[in-house]
Amino acid sequence: MRFTILLCVAGLLAAGPVFGEARDTLRLKIAPPRVMVPETVVLTDSIPGAFIEKLDALYEMWYVTKHGGEGDGGLFYEPEGGQVSMPDSVYLARLDSLNSAIRLSYNDIVRNYIEVYVVRGRAQSGALLGLSDYYFPIFEEVLAREGLPLELKYLPVIESALNPRAFSRAGACGLWQFMYATGKMYGLEITSFVDERRDPVKSSEAAVRYLKDLYKIYEDWILVIAAYNCGPGNVNKAIRRSGGKKNYWDIYYLLPRETRGYVPAFIGAMYLFNYYDKHNIAVVGNELPSMCDTIMVSDALHFEQVTSLLDISVEQLRDLNPQYRADIVPAGFGKVYPLRMPYNYVTEFIDRQDTIFAYHRAAYFDESDRMADPRARFKKHAHVAPANRAKLVYTVREGDVIGGIAMKFGVRLNDLKYWNGKTRNLIRVGEKLVVYVPKDKVDYYKSKADTRYVGPASNNDAEVEPLNEGEYFYYTVKQGDNLWSIAKKFEGISNRDIMRWNGLSEKAVRKLKPGQKLKIKI
């Protein structure tokens, strides 16, 4: 009889519109029975210890960083005396009165997570409330712009406890806990110097795009929230194993254990932020400024260059710009990055930006090999001057070709290209070419048109090369000038060039005065 029934089922399934679907369904019927959710299941579950440990660790990290010391050795506790919880009817009525765009359920599991925040974790909850004053407006602006429910701002509360530097064991990072691959897929830059998963604005924009993509799949925000935590693959498998049910609580026991508590924790966090005062939870203030502004930086900048000249701490810059991993804004070469700072410092930064960028620049950045012409960056590897030869400089004239110049001075073409850092045979009229000739033939080759004698060959030619009259002019230092701003006025010239031509030391550079004359090579 059992065999006959199975055959009938197989025949009905084979008659379906898609044979592949029938085959998959048949395999489910024959396979060992899976765990199914009963129609009248009583939902009850304990809070995983890992969830509490995660919240405790994230807050402990924040507390110790801000206040020093070793923390208070455990933030989850049962208050002594007084009312520690509310009747179910109170919790239920309060959730209903939120009039949320996201459907909020209530049961014993949700109750447990509500009390994690308002009873057992009151110290942490106070800190979360304080941090939300700074982070929630950022989240709300992005969510509102994209037309998503503002209630989704509570996701980072359970993802990272509003800690932009939070890093999970699985490798998720930032307020929204993006994995590396997901972050890259949604356009976040992750390098040795920048990790935009930690950028409150950029990561929020990426998270909103991800949430919108998930909503296109499920059209249910509760399932979207679950999928954000464990991935759409796990949610899809739970739906299929339940027989196609798409109610979160119908698939609750088919989801990964850590995800089961994700939606209840979301509801618990939402309850906390709306009714913390009903539980006498004090808001712990944070040190983040209420008003900030953003400056776009187009050249490399170290935080200490800013803090040395403005009355702002490195720690505050780090808190406002957690995406920069080494206290460096890696701007330059066409890349522009934002620097967030308190509103009252922005005007002063703009007024003093040339001085800020030039401040101890050589100590923070080695720019000896940064060329103004990107095509000439290979010149950072200086050539070795040949022994027993003298150096001449030849000016390219109309009609010259590099091969003809090599023949004119009796040198190999490859040597001439090597001395001048060339990989191609292209030369330009007026270009200066270095040529090394035998010392006993200097007078002969000096007679060549537009050729000047520099001196005996030396590996330090670049440091001691003289400037003849007519090859340079004098620049008069003006009020507010520094070596960095002066060099930027002349294409192809760096601050190091000016220091070399004028014999300036690092100490002398810091003492430039208005009216001082500087040699600038033409």
354 neighbors 361 (Cβ within 8 angstroms): no
**CA 392 to CA 278: how far, in whole Å?**
86
Which of the following is catalytic: 60, 151, 159, 205?
A: 159
Strand pairing partners for 521? 472
Q: Determine the residue type at 467.
A: L
Nearest-angstrom CA–CA distance, 168 and 251: 26
* Contact partners, residue 160, CB within 8 Å, separation at least 6: 58, 166, 174, 175, 176, 177
**Is 355 within 8 Å of 420 (Cβ atoms)?**
no
* 226 in Cβ contact with 13 (< 8 Å): no
- Catalytic annotation present for 159: yes
Which string of b and e fits 32-54 if b means at least 16 CB within 10 Å? eeeeebeeeeeeeeebeeebeeb
User: For residue 514, what are the contacts with CB-CB under 8 A and spacing of at least 6?
Assistant: 477, 478, 479, 481
DSSP assignment, residue 242?
A: T
Rounded distance between C-alpha atoms, residue 249 and residue 368, angstroms: 63
480 exposure class (CB count in 10 Å sphere: 0-12, 13-18, 19+): exposed
- One-letter amino acid at 299 equals D
First to last CA, the chain: 101
DSSP 8-state code for residue 389: E
Cα–Cα distance measured from residue 388 to residue 227, given in angstroms and rounded to the nearest whole number: 74
| Cα distance between residue 190 and residue 383, in whole Å | 36
3-state secondary structure of 61: helix
> What is the distance between the alpha carbons of residues 295 and 337, in angstroms, rounded to a whole number?
8
Residue 9 CA, distance from chain mean position: 55
Distance CA 427, CA 457 (A): 23
Evaluate whether 457 touches 387 at the Cβ level (below 8 Å). yes
Write b or e for each residue in 243-271: b if 16 or more Cβ atoms lie within 10 A of its Cβ, otherwise e. eebeebbbbbbbbeeebbbbbbbbbbbbb
Do residues 347 and 313 lie in contact, with contact meaning Cβ atoms separated by under 8 Å?
A: no
Q: Active-site positions?
A: 159
